[in-house]
Structure 1
Amino acid sequence: MAKLVNISYVCVIFWLILGFGDFVTPAESKAFFVFGDSLVDNGNNNYLATTARADAPPYGIDYPTHRPTGRFSNGLNIPDIISENMGWEPTLPYLSPELRGQRLLVGANFASAGVGVLNDTGIQFVNIIRIYQQLNYFEQYQRRVRELVGEEETQRLVQESLVLITLGGNDFVNNYYLVPYSARSRQYSLEKYVPYVVSEYKKVLKRLYDLGARRVIVTGTGPLGCVPAELAQHSRDGQCAEELQKAASLYNPQLVQMLNQLNNDVGTDVFVAANTNQMHMDFISSPQNFGFVTSKEACCGQGPYNGMGLCTALSNLCPNRDLYVFWDPFHPSERANRIIVQQILTGSNTYMHPMNLSAIMALDSRA
């Protein structure tokens, strides 16, 4: 069975924080736009003929409706929790027919499970919204908003918005390492493939900037070899898969370097890097410190580490999702996502560079 979706896991150390609700006022509300893959898709793939979907139980078991929504989670995902913490109305999938009228002004989620930086990533899923199509939809979105509020207000809404983009893991898991001797692995050594992916990502981010985005949180990959799906296939004695770990160790520093170059090019800190690899390693090394019983075994799945195949109604299902870092073989549980978001909000410069979301909000409120 084909491997499903992204490992660009943004995972974190746990910080004690003050309540964030007092920080946000209605005047500071921003539109919120989301691009990327299954870690942040909140239902776009429900509207597509694709196998990369999460619209059947037990997905959504802990969502407020207790029904599957298309999120690759037992409950809320990272964009949902960011909106919740910021006091914003949650974004809708761009393909949702409910996204119209005043709801457009909240923002939109363009993400699609299975996509990567490269167009040939995720081809096994057939109909997914590849990243340049997501950007085309963003351009279309702006035309729709212009009809609603006019050119000047649309430009202000976009330039003052917050953007989250999560890409990269699928370019390894669902491309380079999808099968032995894949087309990309025959074309490039890993040492040459990584800078190629990063250079293509730079083009994506430049396009996003050209479309008006000025505050963009960019997540890299987590430790690709440490998720239950990879442990099930490649691990010895529960150790992270070495080759995939090497890919992450090469990719993430080069991604940060590229983001620094982009910020230098535009003359301001538009792009914010989340050090997802180190964040997730905190979970891997000390899950008990975060209240988890395991970071190796998925809550929902089958086979070793519950890491084989997909999460379905026939899978093993843990009774308490809060005790597991991973909900399914690839994706964090809602509780892990909540810890992740607190790190995005308040994390130190080691984890959020050059600033965290609280600092972004404080800076923009003074602008």
Structure 2
Amino acid sequence: MAFFSSFASWAILSLVLIFGVIVLKAEARPKAFFVFGDSLVDSGNNNYLATTARADAPPYGIDYPTRRPTGRFSNGYNIPDLISQQLGSESPLPYLSPQLRGEKLLVGANFASAGIGILNDTGIQFVNIIRMYRQYEHFEEYQRRVATQIGASQAKLLVNQALVLITVGGNDFVNNYYLVPYSARSRQYPLPEYVKFLISEYKKLLLKLYDLGGRRVLVTGTGPLGCVPAEMAQRGTNGQCSPELEQAAGLFNPQLESMLLELNRNLRSDVFIAANTARMHNNFVSNPQAFGFTTSKVACCGQGPYNGLGLCTPLSNLCPNRDLYAFWDAFHPSEKANKLIVEGIMSGSKSYMNPMNLSTILALDVYT
């Protein structure tokens, strides 16, 4: 009888604990999510700036739920939106949005700004954009704001447990080194040395991000720089990708991944996750039909060869079915292409996500 009573008590306690864990899980807030980088991940910060690097006019946003432009360089959702959906969370608001206050602050924030690069002299033609050092200043300011709301220790925990995405580097080639013939940077460095310089500067940015509290950081490489419609129109020949920019991406991305793995070894933790978005892109760029696209050369919105010249505007050519196009405009993937990229981020093998994919990260973090 005593055994039964003891067993019954243990069983009831176990059920209570299990039920308690289930309730806690159900009530737990999803991870906060912070985004840094350029137009591939900008969700509208540049709407608040006097710059030409904006996506706040139609037909941008034509497939977004509101059917209105939001500042995303997409026909619909961008990569941060789609990752947020995987986190079970709403998308973090642009840091400059006046709506980012109260409970919205605890979701995270998007600090990205179209046109920026690793280097401060990248995108100078856009004038008023939020360069990386300034994005970090905003992040520090964000943490002070959150600390006043939930306390310093909880704010630190929120940041340490958050997911961070950083996407930067492509503009350092297309809007710097190759922006004009005989650019200042191309006169200063041969391409291999320029790539080494970029990697060394990027390493400093990532270590600063670690110092600011980032502990789970997805770092994307460049996309297929030479195969975007803009470069096909301006530098490609006979429908082929630009060899110079493909060489640049081919040098940059492997060195970026090696640098991230070195940082992890030095930190003795898998802080930085290399997302090989170039390989993800190249899958549907090289074989678009296999992924349901009719073309990976012509942008849905634009003008000129491959719809690759100038901006996407209300006067541009506009395709009727965006899901058939790998590229939305001259530089940016369509929403459907973004979904394929995020599928790779979530479940890609080690050749796509090194040392692990996002699904593995989320599963591990449940138990830590």
TM-score range (shorter-chain normalised) is over 0.9
The equivalent of 2:107 in structure 1 is 106
TM-score normalised per structure 1? 0.93
The equivalent of 2:259 in structure 1 is 258
The equivalent of 2:78 in structure 1 is 77
Amino acid at match of 2:330: P
Give the match's secondary structure for 1:174.
helix
Amino acid at match of 2:219: V
Q: CA RMSD in A?
A: 0.9
The equivalent of 1:91 in structure 2 is 92
Identity %: 71
Amino acid at match of 1:84: Q
1-structure distance, mates of 2:155, 2:187: 45
The equivalent of 1:62 in structure 2 is 63
The equivalent of 2:347 in structure 1 is 346
Query: Does residue 1:45 correspond to 2:43, yes or no?
Result: no
2-structure distance, mates of 1:222, 1:250: 12
Map 1:160-171 to 2 at 5 A.
Answer: 160-171=161-172
For the pair shown, the structure with the greater C-alpha radius of gyration is 2
Map 1:76-155 to 2 at 5 A.
Answer: 76-155=77-156
Contact 2:61 2:76 in 1 (8 A): yes
Give ranges in structure 1 of 5+ residues lacking alignment: 1-23
Q: CA deviation at 1:28?
A: 6.6
1-structure distance, mates of 2:163, 2:125: 31
CA pair 28-355 structure 1, distance change in 2 beyond 3 A: farther
Q: CA deviation at 1:85?
A: 2.2
Contact 1:298 1:306 in 2 (8 A): yes
The equivalent of 1:303 in structure 2 is 304
The equivalent of 1:274 in structure 2 is 275
CA pair 345-26 structure 1, distance change in 2 beyond 3 A: farther
Contact 1:28 1:361 in 2 (8 A): no
2-structure distance, mates of 1:354, 1:26: 30
Instruction: Tell me: higher relative CO, structure 1 or 2? Use CA pairs within 8 A at least 6 residues apart.
Output: 1
Deviations 1:135-178 (A, max 9, x none): 11000000000000001100110000000000000000000000
Deviations 1:246-305 (A, max 9, x none): 101110111011101110111100000011221111111110010000000000000110
Q: CA deviation at 1:27?
A: 3.0
1-structure distance, mates of 2:26, 2:188: 51
Question: What number of residue pairs does the alignment pair up?
Answer: 344
2-structure distance, mates of 1:54, 1:75: 12
Deviations 1:292-343 (A, max 9, x none): 0000000000011010111000000000000000000000001111111111
Contact 2:281 2:341 in 1 (8 A): no
Contact 1:59 1:74 in 2 (8 A): yes
Amino acid at match of 1:70: G
1-structure distance, mates of 2:268, 2:338: 32
TM-score normalised per structure 2? 0.92
CA pair 203-362 structure 1, distance change in 2 beyond 3 A: same
The equivalent of 2:221 in structure 1 is 220
